[in-house]
Structure 1
């Protein structure tokens, strides 16, 4: 019998079809990785769709499974760009697209290392477990490097509600993120295994790979449900009546404080309105008042008019005020400071922001980055504080976490260990106008509430200010760019969650899982290349 060649049309179209199919097969993983990144972005606030996150990682798992290291790196980069470019768009609100895109690309390159690692361990038995550890190891790296790290966009911060959230009280943001990722990769492994298995229903049910993948998918959900009773809003040392002042700002953007004393005047005015309501009996007097970060736009230590205005507000409301101000320390260095202002004795205890925002509050390698943009000269030259400080405000111990610091596990944990009964996250989001930044940060604060079992107060200059219960739910909130006051009785809590007690160890343990998977994959690769007799 003679073999005959397949017919070829004069146009060559049939011969081109296999090439086209091959091209589409190569393109499919890229499309999956991009879809996964976009889906993870859609899951985070202001859209509260935390249940979408596992499906994002299921798509990522399908994209990188069994790929070579170079392909894993590239697919991780595609995923990172699809996720972080829209997520971080607020960073370019007032300075243009170059800093925004540079930050997104830099962070996506770190995420691409996770793609490489996940591809490397994806041929191991029980690969979703090792791949999830690799992801947490990558997040741990991103939270520390470069320039002190940038944890914004951690998987846990997109879970301010939902079935996985209670796990934050057991192992903090690393365990919460691990559960989400493991569930997603479990779904991917289940889909891949079901595709490969042929036979009766009984054979499918007895297949070890299917059972392992199903366990990876279901176990995190069951763990979250089991941890739910551990989350409580109960007061353990009575309640505190708290007032949050949102005074608003005269204008949006980097020049929000360009008009001298305007921001301070706005917050004094709103506090005086509260004092009038107290005097008339319309509302009960709060035990403490919280102003936002940068609520005094001039230094009250050296400007007598600012000092007098704050003192007037404190005396009128009859309660201590936590005031955010930019001040000059005794050594001459600028500080982003919170000041405990007593109505009788004036300024007292202080807390200086410890984890400063690079390229905003300070500028690393200023002369180098000036080559690319003159906007670097708009960055500050602040000096960080050195220790956690808890304010005693009429018997309530308030732990201070200033704005950007809420993204860092250790900063928040230190304040709770220092004795904080409630947490305050004073922020100034006026710089980022009406972007999604304030909602992303609010989601972080909600996760921190559950992680440490504390009510979290979020006073913001321009919104969204909020009162968050220890279970992460929002009791009250304001709109954006409007003056407002929130009054709430919040529980004082003294017990420490397992996450607070464990500290960094859950992250270490989960990182070791990822490292163990990489080591095992390396050993298997070496053994496969070793010559045999």
Structure 2
């Protein structure tokens, strides 16, 4: 058992290296092979323990940035919750490995686990999904065909087939598993030669502003007025360059999340500053603002601010962060806890947005996402289905500016551009703003802790990649397939126990074998 726990810890820790800041995604199949081997042939309880060790070894270093930014209690709590899901799959793994085609069943189980933990409990946590690790590999174009969840399925299948090769006892079995492994690898890289492309319907010039955060740079509330003025100043500078003929007038401008951290509709000075900047540039500006939602709530919104008609259409963040932007069960928690530490910075809970249609920004249909929204599957898919021609991410990474979270989120954002087949514009308060092409390449980007601007001409796209549909449907399909596999595995275990009892009664075997002790290749599914 100690060897299995050591293997699980090694595999889990190595999986964290697939993501930023190390970003060596080629370790993924090896890590998943280690997960399968470590949990193989165990009872459910032992499998849970081994899977939990894998989850701890992976997720604690993967979101280490939370300990440095939000604090170690939040880091420990969130990482523990996420590690628990890897433990649950570890308990299911021995049951699924009773089936002949167990690498496929277990791969669906892996995707089901990722989908569930992305949405539950509370708002879930999308970080650490395998599909987010491939943006700089030959597998990246598969995102447009299969989506993030589909690519996770491919990578999990490769890893578990590798484990199947390792445990095969006969040459024919090893050959069959090896052939399947090569075939699946070919499927994974095939989109590199036949990339999915969408038709171009037009072009626009877009500018994304990074105004920078006053003070040390990690607190948007340090100087709220100056924070907004920073973004106003960059926009005014651009307007002056346009008027002087030194720059092209963009079709619209994007400001980041928290470019105003105070409600502009209740603060006349901030409202006037924004209006002055918008009127100077003469085109719509997507402003990221915190807006009052009543005495107990706030909204985190992207607001289309027109130079002639003022503020108009809005997108509200769909996935506020639990204990970061709202406090679950606030009324049931001790008041001393709610009013202490990081929680004291959340006097009002953030409401979840429900908009499923794109924003009309100067005649361009734009799919918006605010910060962590980019990690979830629902927002972009629904807005693209509604006709969005371009993607925008408004984000504030100020709380994480000295950590690896910034690069991790930018990699996720690049994956979303590939998955959707669209250009994507990122605006951030102090890093990283950028313009990303549909193949995931970065046309331009800013550095952290700088006041800067990126601008470029991007194509508008129509239609929908299969990746968006496949990726979202996996959230239902993978759990359903996994439940079927578990049910069949349980039935096979029951049959094995019944045969053993009959053997004893007929003078056969004197010892009842463990329901997971038989070789998985001896049963069929």
- Please confirm whether the aligned pair reaches a TM-score higher than 0.5, indicating the same fold: yes
- The match for 1:471 among 403, 422, 439 is 439
CA contact 1:292–1:460 (8 Å) conserved in 2:
yes
d(CA) in 2 for partners of 1:320, 1:231: 34
Q: 1:363 to 1:329 in 2, by over 3 A?
A: closer
Written as runs of structure 1 = structure 2, the 5 A alignment for 1:21-420 is 26-193=1-168, 196-197=169-170, 204=171, 207=172, 209-231=173-195, 236-252=200-216, 255-329=219-293, 333-366=297-330, 367-368=332-333, 374-375=340-341, 376-379=343-346, 380-420=348-388
Per-residue Cα deviation, 1:432-470 (whole angstroms, up to 9, x for no partner) = 131111111111111111221111111110101121111
Per-residue Cα deviation, 1:33-74 (whole angstroms, up to 9, x for no partner) = 111111111111233322221111122222122222222111
CA contact 1:464–1:480 (8 Å) conserved in 2:
yes
Question: How far did 1:242 drift?
Answer: 0.7
d(CA) in 2 for partners of 1:456, 1:468: 5
2:416 corresponds in structure 1 to 448
Question: What secondary structure sits across from 2:350 in the alignment?
Answer: coil
Per-residue Cα deviation, 1:252-277 (whole angstroms, up to 9, x for no partner) = 57633221311101111111221222
Question: What secondary structure sits across from 1:397 in the alignment?
Answer: strand
CA contact 1:136–1:177 (8 Å) conserved in 2:
yes
- The match for 1:515 among 475, 483, 504 is 483
How many residues are matched? 497
2:427 corresponds in structure 1 to 459
Question: What secondary structure sits across from 1:426 in the alignment?
Answer: strand
Question: How far did 1:335 drift?
Answer: 1.0
CA contact 2:147–2:469 (8 Å) conserved in 1:
no
Question: What secondary structure sits across from 1:189 in the alignment?
Answer: helix
CA contact 1:249–1:257 (8 Å) conserved in 2:
no
d(CA) in 2 for partners of 1:156, 1:278: 41
Task: Calculate the aligned-residue CA RMSD, in Å.
Answer: 2.0
Question: What secondary structure sits across from 1:492 in the alignment?
Answer: strand
CA contact 2:217–2:449 (8 Å) conserved in 1:
no
d(CA) in 2 for partners of 1:346, 1:365: 37
CA contact 1:244–1:289 (8 Å) conserved in 2:
yes
Q: 1:54 to 1:280 in 2, by over 3 A?
A: same
Give the TM-score normalised by the residue count of structure 1: 0.89
Greater mean alpha carbon deviation, residues 336-345 or residues 209-218: 209-218
Per-residue Cα deviation, 1:112-161 (whole angstroms, up to 9, x for no partner) = 10111112222321221111111111112212221132222111122223
Q: 1:415 to 1:82 in 2, by over 3 A?
A: same
Q: 1:113 to 1:332 in 2, by over 3 A?
A: closer
Q: 1:467 to 1:210 in 2, by over 3 A?
A: same
Q: 1:113 to 1:250 in 2, by over 3 A?
A: same
d(CA) in 2 for partners of 1:234, 1:525: 48
**Which has the larger Rg?**
1
Question: What secondary structure sits across from 2:360 in the alignment?
Answer: strand
Q: 1:123 to 1:50 in 2, by over 3 A?
A: same
- Please say if 1:486 is aligned against 2:461: no
d(CA) in 1 for partners of 2:270, 2:349: 23
Question: What secondary structure sits across from 1:238 in the alignment?
Answer: strand
Per-residue Cα deviation, 1:457-508 (whole angstroms, up to 9, x for no partner) = 1111010112111112222111111111001111110011113344632343
CA contact 2:214–2:227 (8 Å) conserved in 1:
yes
Q: 1:370 to 1:414 in 2, by over 3 A?
A: farther
Question: What secondary structure sits across from 1:237 in the alignment?
Answer: strand
CA contact 2:70–2:399 (8 Å) conserved in 1:
no
CA contact 1:155–1:177 (8 Å) conserved in 2:
yes
CA contact 1:237–1:493 (8 Å) conserved in 2:
yes
- The match for 1:524 among 492, 517, 523 is 492
CA contact 1:334–1:382 (8 Å) conserved in 2:
yes
Give the TM-score normalised by the residue count of structure 2: 0.90
Question: How far did 1:377 drift?
Answer: 2.4
